[in-house]
Amino acid sequence: MSLSHSDLARLVADLTQADRVLHAWVCLDPAPRAAAHGPLTGLVFGVKDVIDVAGLATRCGSPVTDDRPAAVDADCVAALRAAAALPLGKTVTAEFAHVSPGPTRNPRQLSHTPGGSSSGSAAAVAAGMVDFALSTQTGGSIIRPAAFCGVVGFKPSYGAVSRAGMQVMCPSLDTIGWHARDVDMAARVAGVLLPPQRCESPRRPRVRVLPAQPGYHLEPAALEAVRHAGRTLGDAGYAVAQTEAMPQSQELLRTHGTVVHYELTRALTALSADADPARDERLSPRLRADLRRGQALAYADYEAALARLHAARRRDWEADFGDADLVLTSSALGPAPHGLSHTGESGFNKAWSVLGWPCLHLPTTQDDRGLPLGVMLVARPGMDPALLRWAGEIHSLIDRRDTASLPSLNRSLP
């Protein structure tokens, strides 16, 4: 059912009021529009402020960007609008989708970080403001906010969704995905944005449980969430086995750091101190430091890192996970940390972003403070539709939350 003009006006007014606490939105469109009918009729969504929406500025979470409105929609926004979904506005991002956070608060615990860089998108979905929200990921910018805010987060295979109309910071890694209130909603969006794919066999997937990665220590509650999910699937008849950490995981992390700093610096060359010192001073101290790090990198270092990245993407899935269809692991080291001056540790996500494999966060429980916890499913590259299809049944088995207590659309913050 489509939304009337009065319904939309009331919704925008309600969101404006609720956002005085949450700060998930950069701006709301006072008169959103979409096709009259389509597969997403009646759904409303947010758009991370690195993706163009016609008539709205793309500021990338920075005061140094142009405030002129975009002339046309990004490809992904245009496709969703054509499917009759309504873009309500732009959601907050960390500065240039990197690490310096915006003002967004976590709707589950307002004094805890919502994660980043797609903080506004995850928070808006978690607060029941929208059905889904477009996001992006370079390291952990979709999966980690989904984990911290307790929503579904989907990062497709690298290159699966067009980036036309996105402010790309790291061409070798940046991927458009989305946050959604449940797996079914994430799959409906995928039906519009992902290329059609022949359905696989309806058999249950084989699952490998990966409880740890070298150099990272999971908090007990996060580790238990992974182990509980693995036990539950095994009890339900799934073929489940534990696997050791990927042998190349530390190399993937080093590769990620070099590629990100080199490409981000080149993307923001016009904002560097040599180009315009006055504008450079308006960037956050953390971003300025990372730009200096990127400027110090030699092209030979970047070229070597890029070669490692491409070699990793050519590596067979079977080399690490045999005949498994899915990897079950943690989405974050633990629940959302306290404080809003940082977005949490993304290291547990970076290896998957370098590989370019599709990842899906599933919220499953919470700790004794009410902070969300969950798990991540990773599939073979290009198996995005199968991942979403399998995730529906898996989530129904491992989800231990009281779903009646979760926000629904149009509800304000408690």
HSE (side-chain half, CA atoms, 13 Å) at 182: 13
Q: What b-and-e string marks burial along 234-243, b requiring 16 or more CB atoms within 10 Å of the CB?
A: eeeebebeeb
Q: In what order do the strands lie in the sheet with 152-155?
A: 25-28, 86-91, 44-48, 132-137, 175-180, 152-155, 359-366, 372-379, 326-329, 207-209, 240-242
Q: Which residues pair with 166 in a beta bridge?
A: 51
- Determine the straight-line distance between the first and last CA of the chain, rounded to whole angstroms: 27
β-pairing, 326-329 vs 207-209, is: parallel
Q: Is 256 helix (H, G, I), strand (E, B) or coil?
A: helix
- Domains of the chain in start order, with CATH, are 1-245+319-413 (3.90.1300.10), 249-312 (no CATH)
Helices (H) then strands (E): counts for the chain: 13, 11
Structure token pair of residue 185 = 């909603």
Does the active-site annotation cover 90? no
| Under 8 Å between Cβ of 22 and 107 | yes
48 is catalytic: yes
pLDDT tens series, the chain, 414 aa: 677 888 888 889 999 999 999 999 999 998 888 888 999 999 999 999 999 999 999 999 999 998 999 999 999 999 999 999 999 999 999 999 999 999 999 999 999 999 999 999 999 999 999 999 999 999 999 999 999 999 999 999 999 999 999 999 999 999 999 999 999 999 999 999 998 877 666 689 999 999 988 778 899 999 999 999 999 999 999 999 999 877 788 999 999 999 999 999 999 986 554 556 677 788 999 999 999 999 999 999 999 999 999 999 998 898 889 999 999 999 999 999 999 999 999 988 999 999 999 999 999 999 999 999 999 999 999 999 999 999 999 999 999 998 655 666 544 443
Q: Which ranges in 23-133 belong to alpha helices (H)?
A: 75-82, 119-126
Are the C-beta atoms of residues 384 and 194 closer than 8 Å to each other? yes
Rounded to the nearest 10 degrees, the angle between the axes of helix 285-296 and helix 249-267 is 100
Q: Is 350 a catalytic residue?
A: no
Catalytic residue among 48, 90, 155, 350: 48
Spatial distance between the Cα atoms of 351 and 221, rounded to a whole number of angstroms: 22
Q: Which of 100, 118, 141, 331 is catalytic?
A: 141
Q: How many Å apart are CA 182 and CA 192, to the nearest integer?
A: 16
Residue with tokens 């999971």: 218
* Catalytic annotation, pick one of 62, 100, 117, 331: 117
Given a contact cutoff of 8 angstroms between Cβ atoms, the answer to whether 363 and 150 are in contact is: yes
| Distant-in-sequence, close-in-space partners of 256: CB < 8 Å, separation ≥ 6 | 139, 173, 350, 351, 353, 354
What's the rounded Cα separation, in Å, for the pair 37 and 176?
A: 25
Predicted model pTM: 0.95
Specify the DSSP element, H or E, that contains 398. helix 384-398
